[in-house]
Chain A
Amino acid sequence: MSVLSLTGVCLSFPRGKRHVIRVLDDVTIEIDAGETVAVLAQRAQGKTSLLRVAAGIERPDRGHVRFEGEDLWGFSERRRSRLLGGQIGWVGSATPDLDLPMLANVSLPLFATHGKSESYARATAALQRVGARECARQFWGSLADWERALVAVAQGIAREPKLLLVDDLTLSLGLGEIEQITRLLDALATEQGFAVLMSVSDAGATGWSRRVATLAGGELLETRRSPVEGNIIDFPGVHDSRRDISS
């Protein structure tokens, strides 16, 4: 069963009395556990809207959004919002609301469900896993873009989600940093078994995603193909490649 399934999703926003902007037009996509899917689109083409629909924040005009087979809009509002705070993680590049050290920032959303000490422990582990342990005592303003991206990923995985939605995280990063962050996301998805749907505005950020879709004019295009892992493992002279990718 897919972790996330969007079927025939349409979303439009009114502009004045006569005009309507169609952001998503009959969008269908399925993502399984451990899979990373990158949606490549230019600015203002509905990337964030797609993620908001997937997160259950935005209700589509038509179509179905299913999380682990259950229709998100069949849930109560409370259950939906709990889902977003827990099993669905959101990774973006927005400045945090509170000016706190990063450890506090990552752990704060966990307090309600996990208690203080457990929250700190989870946040510390998440920062360590993404390689941002030294950012724990730093404030947002003192971090480089690259460190901010790592902290955002740590925040996303601290709640051990089943689905991670990543909104154009690599926009301000350099070539090597983009490769490292997308490689990290793919490794985390494989290691922790969550699905990743990431929006990107540059093809370079699709490098470690197993599937690439394009989005323009509300239309999502994708050539869904069979997994290719076997090819990597069977390549002459290369053994146990999955371990190497994840390390």
Chain B
Amino acid sequence: MGGTTAQPLSAGDAVLGLVIELPGNSYQLEQRLEARFGSAQFSHATAYHALKRLSKQGLIRPIEDSSPPPLSAAPPLSAPAAQSAASASPDTDVADLPATAYEATPAGIAHFRRWLRASTATPPVREELQAKIAFCGPEDLPRMVAIVREAELACAAQLEDLNQRMRRQRLLDRDDAWRRLTGMIVTAADVAWWDARIKWLQTLRQYLQREGQRYAAEQRQASSPPRD
């Protein structure tokens, strides 16, 4: 046990899985990636770059006649996305255009099946806040409380985003019982992660606040003139 190095979910695997489920262009896949794996916080134009990579590896291929696209018509790329796409590939050929729809090749499907059935390892905990708490001194406590409060607010916002995505996804999956079930389980895993984090932050904040008050009281006592 413990022999494998844990890897986070790669954008390539996620995008390949989405293409196998339903072929699509980079805009559609960007939307579906966000809806299904929003908590992974993939960066902008991730699906576009993943599609290019997967295409080069022969795991997906452009659909010859990709009009009309499988879902709904892809709106034009937003300015940053278009800029990002253009800057990423100066020698863009037809297959690299954002509106091109892709489907999986037999090699891509086989690759994905191998990934799906391979064991996964437990990811390491590399939490910056934990390290900050570990290294802080009593004089840093007020700032640490503020940082924890910010983190708690950010988590609540993430939870709201997740809930919003979940509501959207339920609408999309309403006619697919299996997808609804797996969606619910995956959302529950995301929610459990945020739940644990918020609760940890809440406990931490209260603990740091108590310690901060105790430290401030000690400081006041130490600086007051001694009584005769």
Q: Which B79-93 residues have a C-beta within 8 angstroms of A?
A: none
Instruction: Tell me if B's interface is mostly helix, strand, loop or mixed.
Output: helix
B167 in contact with A221 (CB, 8 Å) = no
B188 in contact with A40 (CB, 8 Å) = no
Counting CB contacts under 8 A, is A222 at the interface? Answer: yes
B171 in contact with A232 (CB, 8 Å) = yes
B167 in contact with A232 (CB, 8 Å) = yes
A244 in contact with B174 (CB, 8 Å) = yes
A236 in contact with B152 (CB, 8 Å) = no
Pick from B71, B149, B152, B192: contact of A237, CB below 8 A: B71
Once the chains are docked, how many angstroms separate the CA of A206 from the CA of B47? 29
A202 in contact with B167 (CB, 8 Å) = no
Total count of chain A residues near the partner, CB < 8 A: 36
* Given A214-B198, A231-B164, A221 and B153 contact (CB-CB distance below 8 Å): yes
Pick from A209, A219, A223, A231: contact of B157, CB below 8 A: A223
Once the chains are docked, how many angstroms separate the CA of A41 from the CA of B206? 13
Contact with B along A214-232 (1 / 0, CB 8 A): 1011010111010010011
Q: Which B45-97 residues have a C-beta within 8 angstroms of A?
A: 71-75
- Determine the chain A residues whose CB is within 8 A of the CB of B155 once the complex forms: 214
- Determine the chain B residues whose CB is within 8 A of the CB of A208 once the complex forms: 163, 167
- Nearest-neighbour CB distance to chain A for B192, whole angstroms, equals 7
Pick from B28, B152, B172: contact of A214, CB below 8 A: B152
For A200, the closest partner residue in chain B by CB is B195
Pick from B159, B166, B206: contact of A212, CB below 8 A: B159
Counting CB contacts under 8 A, is A85 at the interface? Answer: no
Once the chains are docked, how many angstroms separate the CA of A176 from the CA of B185? 9
A241 in contact with B171 (CB, 8 Å) = yes
Q: Which A32-79 residues have a C-beta within 8 angstroms of B?
A: 40-42, 45
Once the chains are docked, how many angstroms separate the CA of A216 from the CA of B52? 47
A-B contact count (CB 8 A): 101
B205 in contact with A211 (CB, 8 Å) = no
Counting CB contacts under 8 A, is B6 at the interface? Answer: no
A175 in contact with B156 (CB, 8 Å) = no
- Determine the chain A residues whose CB is within 8 A of the CB of B203 once the complex forms: 42, 216
- Nearest-neighbour CB distance to chain A for B200, whole angstroms, equals 10
Counting CB contacts under 8 A, is A21 at the interface? Answer: no
B171 in contact with A214 (CB, 8 Å) = no
Once the chains are docked, how many angstroms separate the CA of A32 from the CA of B191? 26
For A235, the closest partner residue in chain B by CB is B168
Counting CB contacts under 8 A, is A145 at the interface? Answer: no
* Given A216-B202, A216-B206, A231-B164, A203 and B72 contact (CB-CB distance below 8 Å): no
B188 in contact with A175 (CB, 8 Å) = yes
- Determine the chain B residues whose CB is within 8 A of the CB of A221 once the complex forms: 149, 152-153, 156
* Given A217-B205, A217-B209, A244 and B171 contact (CB-CB distance below 8 Å): yes
B191 in contact with A211 (CB, 8 Å) = no
Q: Which A177-227 residues have a C-beta within 8 angstroms of B?
A: 179, 202-204, 206-214, 216-217, 219, 221-223, 225
Counting CB contacts under 8 A, is B37 at the interface? Answer: no
Once the chains are docked, how many angstroms separate the CA of A91 from the CA of B139? 45
Once the chains are docked, how many angstroms separate the CA of A115 from the CA of B164? 42
- Nearest-neighbour CB distance to chain B for A190, whole angstroms, equals 12
A-B pairs, top 7 by smallest CB distance, nearest first, are A203-B195, A216-B202, A236-B72, A217-B206, A223-B157, A237-B72, A204-B191
Can you list 9 A-B contacts with CB-CB less than 8 angstroms, sorted by A residue number? A175-B184, A179-B184, A203-B159, A214-B202, A232-B164, A235-B168, A235-B171, A236-B71, A236-B73
A residues sitting closer than 8 Å to B (CB atoms) are 40-42, 45, 175-176, 179, 202-204, 206-214, 216-217, 219, 221-223, 225, 228, 231-232, 235-238, 241, 244-245
